[in-house]
Amino acid sequence: MTVYAHINTVPNGSTGGIMIKEHSELLSHGKDSYAFWGRGREAQNDHEMKFATKPEVYLDALQTRLDGRAGFHSKTATKRLLRRLDEIKPDVVHLHNLHGYYINIEMLFNWLAAQNCKVEWTLHDCWAFTGHCAYFTYVKCAQWQSHCAYSDKCPQLNTYPKTICKKACARNFDEKRRLFASILPERMKLITPSQWLEGLVKRSFLGTYPIEVRHNTIDTTVFKPTPSDFRARYGIGDRFMILGVASPWTERKGLSDFIRLAGEFGNEGFAFVLVGLDKKQFRWLPRGIIGIPRTDSPRELAGIYSTTDVLFNPTHEDNFPTVNLEAEACGTSVVTYDAGGCSETLLSATSCSVAGYEQAKIAIMRLSGRN
């Protein structure tokens, strides 16, 4: 029987949910599948393993902040993972996100190079082929096409995975290129959720590998029109409800654009709801916006989607955002920027991708019937 191993940062959220869904489907079809992660909930059975501890993750994050070597720490945690992989002897190793302060990519790829297993790698962002960042279109950086930080300094050292070290980016680029090339193209296939990301990968040092575009899917037994008392609980009534969902909310995700829209529209006939805020963001959230912390309950989220009038996804940089899929599956229209693979996610005739803020404002006003 074919043995599958799946590896990701977490078992929840968008990328973790995709991993666990694939793992669960294999198990339900009688396949031998194992899921591994470094952060999040504890394992619930012998086919799951959380191989990093919280102190190890914090230490990795601290080391990365100091030396900029994201993906090259967490040796003890990675040894635990590799010991378990030696035990189960996987025929297929399916990689997802390899960043997030939990794994040592040098140890992992040295192990993979010594095996005969097939490797599938779903790229959820651009980190695999840069020297530092997960995305670069927002800052219009093209160094990744030749050599990161070779002729110019990296412009995003202050973004995730944040560091004070200015010298690691070029080295990271070289070592990623060397490590990932240790797996021959006939053994490794890359998977991208969007045609947009496929196009970028083809122009990177990973462009020699076969690439399959496999759009992310969601659980439509959960994400469907769902009865909810959300409006009553938060006093929204029959106001036109505009929802934003992200975790975490950052400038790249368009937080300031959502707040700007709320300020310009006001609360007369409108209600603005942000899901996925952290504690700091709650402190300065403008009055008039209903803030909701991150939820790991898909059913709770389905209820919120179902009761809203439009999901406004103002992301400036994204791959294939599943929040758009979830909202549409719950019967809600989506207005999103035409960034990354966002336009590829839309199926509803009432949803649209637009060039920027002003166009989004017009589209939302039209949906509200107040134009």
Q: What is the pLDDT of residues 296-315, one digit of tens each?
A: 889 999 999 999 999 999 99
In a shared domain, residues 249 and 299: yes
In one-letter notation, the amino acid at residue 212 is: E
Domain that holds residue 62: 3-213
Check whether 287 has a pLDDT greater than 70: yes
Are 128 and 270 in a shared domain?
A: no
Q: Which of 184, 213, 242 is the last residue of a domain?
A: 213
- Please indicate, yes or no, whether residues 201 and 338 belong to a single structural domain of this protein: no
pLDDT of 234 over the 90 cut: yes
Q: Are 156 and 139 in contact (CB under 8 A)?
A: yes
**Quick one: 113 and 202 in the same domain?**
yes
Query: Is 357 part of any domain?
Result: yes
Q: How far apart are CA 246 and CA 240, in angstroms?
A: 20
Tokens 């002729």 sit on residue: 151
Query: What mean pLDDT do residues 115-123 have?
Result: 98
In a domain, 223, yes or no: no
pLDDT per position as a tens digit, 73-95 = 999 999 999 999 999 999 999 99
Q: What is the pLDDT of residue 365?
A: 96
Asked whether residue 124 carries a pLDDT value surpassing 90, the answer given is: yes
Asked if residue 221 is part of any domain, the answer here is no
Arithmetic mean of pLDDT, 142-160 = 93
Same domain, residue pair 102 and 184? yes
In angstroms, rounded to a whole number, what is the distance separating the alpha carbons of residues 144 and 204? 7
Mean of the per-residue pLDDT values of the chain: 96
Q: Do both 116 and 163 map to the same domain? A: yes
Cβ 289 vs Cβ 272: under 8 Å: yes
Count how many domains the chain has.
2
The pLDDT value given to residue 131? 98
Q: What DSSP assignment string belongs to 41-101?
A: SPP-STTEEE---HHHHHHHHHHHHHH--TTB--HHHHHHHHHHHHHH--SEEEE----SS
Provide the percentage of residues in the chain whose pLDDT is more than 70: 100
CATH at residue 276: 3.40.50.2000
Give the mean pLDDT of 25-51: 97
Are 202 and 266 found together in one domain?
no
- 318 domain-assigned: yes
Which of 157, 184, 213 marks a domain boundary? 213
Looking at the structure, tell me whether residues 196 and 291 fall in a common domain: no
* Domain shared by 151 and 238, yes or no: no
Mean of pLDDT values over 335-354? 97
The Cα–Cα gap between 48 and 239 comes to 44
Structure tokens that stand for 36 in this block: 């591994």
Tell me: do 209 and 234 sit in the same domain: no
**pLDDT tens for residues 19-31?**
999 999 999 999 9
Here the CATH number for the domain that contains residue 61 is: 3.40.50
Alpha helices in 116-267 (DSSP H): 168-180, 195-202, 230-233, 255-265
8 Cβ neighbours under 8 A, 6+ residues apart: 15, 16, 19, 35, 36, 37, 95, 96, 97
Q: Residue 149 has which token pair?
A: 């930080």
Q: How far apart are CA 33 and CA 26, in angstroms?
A: 6
- Residue 219: inside a domain: no
The answer to whether residues 6 and 92 touch, using CB atoms and an 8 Å cutoff, is: no
Integer Cα distance of 222 and 129 in angstroms: 34
Q: Look at residue 296 in the predicted model and tell me its pLDDT.
A: 82
Instruction: Assess whether 96 and 146 both reside in one domain.
Output: yes
Span 37-51, average pLDDT: 98
pLDDT of residue 148: 96
Going by pLDDT thresholds of 50, 70 and 90, the confidence category of residue 322 is: very high
Asked whether residue 220 is assigned to any structural domain, the reply reads no
Residue 224 falls inside a structural domain: no
Q: Is the pLDDT of residue 371 over 80?
A: no
Of 185, 213, 241, which residue sits at a domain end? 213
Q: Are residues 254 and 338 in the same domain?
A: yes
Indicate if the alpha-carbon torsion angle 148, 154, 160, 165 is positive or negative. Answer: positive
DSSP of 308-319: -SEEEE--SS-S
Q: Is residue 163 in some structural domain?
A: yes
Answer yes or no: are the C-beta atoms of 73 and 58 closer than 8 Å.
no
